Structure 1
Amino acid sequence: MKQNYQNIIRYAMERELQGVDFFRHQSEKVSLASAKDMLLRLADVEMDHYEYLKEQLEHFEKHQTFKEVDFDLDREKNIFADRAENELLDQQVTESMVPDMSVLRTAYLMEKDFAEFYQNAADNTDDPSAKKLFHTLALWEQGHEKLFKEEHQRLMEDYMSQPWGG
């Protein structure tokens, strides 16, 4: 079955916009500065992804091929490296961490799902430009997935090591 690349990109664009909305909305609910910062930064990154996909769709509609992948995956590797270094987790109220961990877990699962979507699209095409684009986008989302998983694990370890009663 031949894939409809325009439908894949349109779907991806919609998912990116949903990600922007989700991350911005959830940033208002979390209490930890590191979680809030991470969510707001990712909302901005997801908007960049939307714009990139829009550009790719426009190019495909004109030329029936995708533009050469021209973004740097390393650019996003350290997007959260400078998270609230001065944040003192042991001074946080223990109960406030639980909702933050739930948000981070949900964000991780969203990114994991999206990475799998792109990888599936890459695996099911023979078109070299589409395969490269979808594979790179899968790597993009895997990077986000990893960041959220690591932050969730860090918070979980901090939470579980706190004495009962916070």
Structure 2
Amino acid sequence: MKKYEQVIRYAMQMELDGSSFFKEKAGQVLSETAKELFLTLADVEMDHYNFLKKHLDKYMENDTFEIDGSFADIDKDIFEKRAEKEHVDAALKESDVPDITILRMAYLIERDYKEFYEKASKEADDPVIKELFEMLSGWEAGHESIFKEEYDRRMKEYMTLPWGG
């Protein structure tokens, strides 16, 4: 097994799990807006999976990571721009997602992924793989932030409701 193969395969599995989670939760929400948001996030996680797979395949062939323009071509703010374009923040605020537990699970998953990539980056001695993991950590931090802010907003609303609804 090559040095970074196992950690990249693990990262790929995390992205698949994230995609599955968001697809599953899309089926549990009532609002079409919220459903679209979770389906979009499932697609984003699959984009991450495919990105990792592409680089793992190259690594398995060459035993090195190469800067071939693919990092430079990827916009580090892709999720934020996508969120802005699709008005993700407004969609969350306007949605009828009654269960704040889903939001909490989503932000915790994204935080775990961010922390995993941060740790992998710190432990990598190859500068290209370090850059790869730093970029993925940044992407996951953006996801985490969106869910955490909405979770906090929903919790504040919930905690200020009169007892008994």
Give the Cα–Cα distance (whole angstroms) in 2 for the partners of residues 75 and 7 of structure 1: 26
The question of 1:52 aligning with 2:55 is answered no
- The answer for unaligned runs of 5 or more in structure 2 is none
Q: Following TM superposition, by how much is the alpha carbon of 1:161 offset from its aligned partner in structure 2, in angstroms?
A: 4.2
Contact 2:33 2:91 in 1 (8 A): no
- Give the alignment's Cα RMSD to 1 decimal: 2.6
Report 1:89-104 matches (<5 A).
97=98, 99=99, 101-104=100-103
Matched AA of 2:103? L
**Higher alpha-carbon deviation: 74-83 or 118-127:** 74-83
| Structure 2 counterpart SS, 1:149 | helix
1:146 aligns with 2:156: no
Q: Please name the residue that 1:11 is paired with.
A: 10
Aligned partners of 1:33 and 1:84 also within 8 Å: no
Task: Report runs of 4+ in structure 1 exceeding 6 Å deviation.
Answer: none
Between 104-113 and 69-78, the greater mean CA deviation after superposition: 69-78
List alignment gaps of at least 5 residues for structure 1: none
Alignment check: 8 A CA contact 2:118 2:134 kept:
yes
CA contact (8 A) 2:89 2:146 kept: no
- In the TM superposition, 1:32-47 aligns within 5 A as 32-47=31-46
* Equivalent position amino acid for 1:108 in 2: Y
Aligned-partner residue type, residue 35 of structure 2: K
TM-score between the two structures when normalised by the length of structure 1: 0.82
Q: Is the 8 A contact 1:122 1:132 kept in 2?
A: yes
The separation in 2 between residues aligned to 1:147 and 1:87, in whole angstroms, is: 9
Map 1:74-113 onto structure 2 (within 5 A).
74-81=77-84, 82-83=87-88, 85=90, 97=98, 99=99, 101-113=100-112
Contact 1:33/1:87 (8 A) holds in 2: no
- State how many pairs are aligned: 158
1:37-59 CA-to-partner distances (Å, cap 9, x unmatched) read 32111101001111111101011
Q: CA deviation at 1:75?
A: 1.8
TM-score by length of 2: 0.82
State the shift of 1:5 in Å: 0.8
Shift in alpha-carbon separation, 1:33–1:132, aligned structure 2, 3 A: same
Amino acid at match of 1:52: F
User: What is the one-letter code of the residue matched to 2:110?
Assistant: E
Distance 1:86 1:112 in 2: 21
